């Protein structure tokens, strides 16, 4: 989370226009395909997403079904063992992936929407509108998203929807800064002047010109955002203000496993490994794409 507010962030903000949607996508595929970080990250993400999607049809126990087989170590019947309530850890890890990905993608999507709307409005209209919005952005930007999310979550109480809400209202400022900066620089550009002269509407101009030009940094930021959101969600759940207990969540599983660390380490270990694996995947993709797509890195020997 802090990473966004340190060095990395300035690079994204200073990121200038690439060649539009087609060019960005082409670049991403071509250059990304040759970057080990991007490739590994993508494979990891695809694997996790695939497993999460297939959760309902995979041949495994119900994640909430309790049994009398408490604290069973990994075996052929329960490959990740069972927890303190006799539930199948493997099944819970898989369903936990579903919850984490769901929460994280909705949270990132929502904060992206907030960020895009506020950023475009501020950057394009300028003046007093910009002043107010930028002030708000900076205020939110000051606090680590986790602390904000913790405050909101503590106020809202646990629950899937509340977690998404808490994360999105804590995370949008970065997106807004990015879009605003881009909108400001686009405003000066000739072709925007030209399309305005041709009678194009302000909002239309913003969506057709500003957004495509932000595509590359947006994708990078979104990928890292998903990783951050998973971290925040699982941390909140670990603290008891995230998703509610029957919902299988990695953070919550680690919390309950903590009590049995000495006797049944598998309860914590498997969800922990799955979590790191997933976060690593999104971080790799984000970092790799940033290296690959950042125009300043082009042509540099690395």
Partner 1 sequence: MADLVAYILRKVILAIPVVLLATLIVFLMLFMTGDPINVLSPPHASVEQLDALREKYGLNEPVYVQYGLFLWQLLHGDLGVSVGFFTRDLEVGDLIADRLPRTLELMAIGLTISYSIGIPLGIFSALRHNSLGDRSVMVFTLLAYAMPSFWLGILFMWLFAVELSWLPIEGTTGGFASIILPAMTLGIGNAALTTRMMRSSMLEVIRQDYITQLRSRGLPEREIIYKHAVKNAILPVITVIGLDIGWFVAGSVVVETVFSWPGIGRLITDSISNADFPVVRGCILVLALFVIAGNLVADILYAYVDPRVRLG
Least distance from partner 1 to the Cβ atom of residue 258, Å: 6
Least distance from partner 1 to the Cβ atom of residue 238, Å: 5
Least distance from partner 1 to the Cβ atom of residue 146, Å: 4
Give the nearer residue to partner 1 in terms of CB position, either 121 or 255: 255
Please choose, from the candidates 37, 126, 144, 91, the residue with its C-alpha nearest in 3D space to the C-alpha of residue 274: 91
Among 150, 192, 285, 292, binds partner 1 (CB under 8 A): 150
Among 23, 142, 202, 208, binds partner 1 (CB under 8 A): 142
| DSSP 3-state of 88 | strand
* Residue pair 1/231 in contact by the 8 Å Cβ criterion: yes
The reply on whether position 254 binds partner 1 by CB under 8 A is yes
The reply on whether position 53 binds partner 1 by CB under 8 A is no
Scan residues 266-295 and list those touching partner 1 (CB under 8 A): 268, 272, 275-276, 279-280, 283-284, 287
What is the distance between the alpha carbons of residues 267 and 244, in angstroms, rounded to a whole number?
18
| Furthest CA-CA distance within the chain | 74
The reply on whether position 80 binds partner 1 by CB under 8 A is no
Rg for the chain, CA atoms, rounded: 22
Least distance from partner 1 to the Cβ atom of residue 123, Å: 21
Residue whose structure tokens are 């010109």:
209
The reply on whether position 34 binds partner 1 by CB under 8 A is no
Give the nearer residue to partner 1 in terms of CB position, either 62 or 138: 138
Least distance from partner 1 to the Cβ atom of residue 275, Å: 6
The reply on whether position 15 binds partner 1 by CB under 8 A is no
The reply on whether position 238 binds partner 1 by CB under 8 A is yes
Region near partner 1 per CB under 8 A, out of 71-79, 133-141, 175-183, 210-218: 133-141
DSSP letter (8 states) at residue 47: H
* Residue pair 178/218 in contact by the 8 Å Cβ criterion: yes
Region near partner 1 per CB under 8 A, out of 15-23, 47-55, 93-101, 154-162: 154-162
Least distance from partner 1 to the Cβ atom of residue 38, Å: 13
Please choose, from the candidates 73, 110, 96, 104, the residue with its C-alpha nearest in 3D space to the C-alpha of residue 274: 96
For 265, counting Cβ atoms within 10 Å of its Cβ (0-12 exposed, 13-18 middle, 19+ buried), the class is middle
The reply on whether position 174 binds partner 1 by CB under 8 A is no
DSSP letter (8 states) at residue 55: G
Contacts with partner 1 by CB under 8 A: the residue count is 48
Q: List CB contacts of 45: < 8 A, sequence separation 6 or more.
A: 278, 281, 282, 285
What is the distance between the alpha carbons of residues 100 and 233, in angstroms, rounded to a whole number?
7
DSSP E strand stretches across the chain: none
Residue 276 vs residues 228, 271, 283: alpha-carbon distances, Å:
11, 9, 10
Interacting residue ranges for partner 1, rule: CB under 8 A: 1-3, 5-7, 135, 138-139, 142-144, 146-148, 150-152, 154-157, 227, 231, 234-235, 238-241, 251, 254-255, 257-258, 261-262, 265, 268, 272, 275-276, 279-280, 283-284, 287, 302
């Amino acid at each position: 989370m802090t990473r966004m507010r340190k060095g990395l962030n300035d690079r994204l903000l200073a990121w200038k226009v690439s060649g539009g949607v087609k060019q960005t996508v082409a670049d991403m595929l071509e250059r990304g395909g040759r970057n080990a970080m991007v490739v590994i990250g993508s494979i990891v993400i695809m694997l996790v997403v695939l497993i999460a999607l297939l959760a309902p049809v995979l041949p495994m126990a119900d994640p909430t079904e309790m049994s009398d087989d408490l604290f069973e170590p990994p075996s052929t019947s329960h490959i990740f063992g069972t927890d303190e309530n006799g539930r199948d850890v493997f099944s819970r890890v898989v369903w936990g992936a579903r919850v984490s990905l769901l929460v994280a993608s909705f949270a990132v999507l929502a904060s992206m929407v907030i960020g895009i709307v506020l950023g475009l409005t501020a950057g394009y209209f300028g003046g007093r509108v910009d002043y107010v919005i930028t002030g708000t952005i900076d205020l939110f930007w000051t606090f680590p998203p986790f602390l904000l999310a913790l405050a909101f979550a503590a106020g809202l109480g646990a629950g899937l929807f509340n977690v998404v809400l808490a994360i999105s209202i804590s995370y949008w400022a970065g997106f807004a800064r990015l879009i605003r900066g881009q909108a400001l620089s686009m405003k000066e550009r000739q072709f925007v002047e030209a399309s305005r002269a041709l009678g194009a509407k302000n909002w239309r101009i913003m969506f057709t010109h500003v957004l495509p030009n932000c595509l590359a940094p947006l994708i990078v930021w979104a990928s890292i955002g998903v990783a951050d959101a998973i971290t925040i969600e699982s941390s909140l759940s670990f603290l008891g203000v995230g998703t509610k207990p029957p919902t299988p969540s990695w953070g919550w599983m680690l919390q309950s496993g903590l009590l049995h660390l000495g006797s049944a380490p598998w309860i914590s270990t498997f969800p922990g490994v799955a979590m790191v694996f997933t976060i690593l995947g999104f971080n790799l993709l984000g970092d790799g794409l940033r290296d690959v797509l950042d125009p300043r890195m082009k042509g540099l020997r690395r």
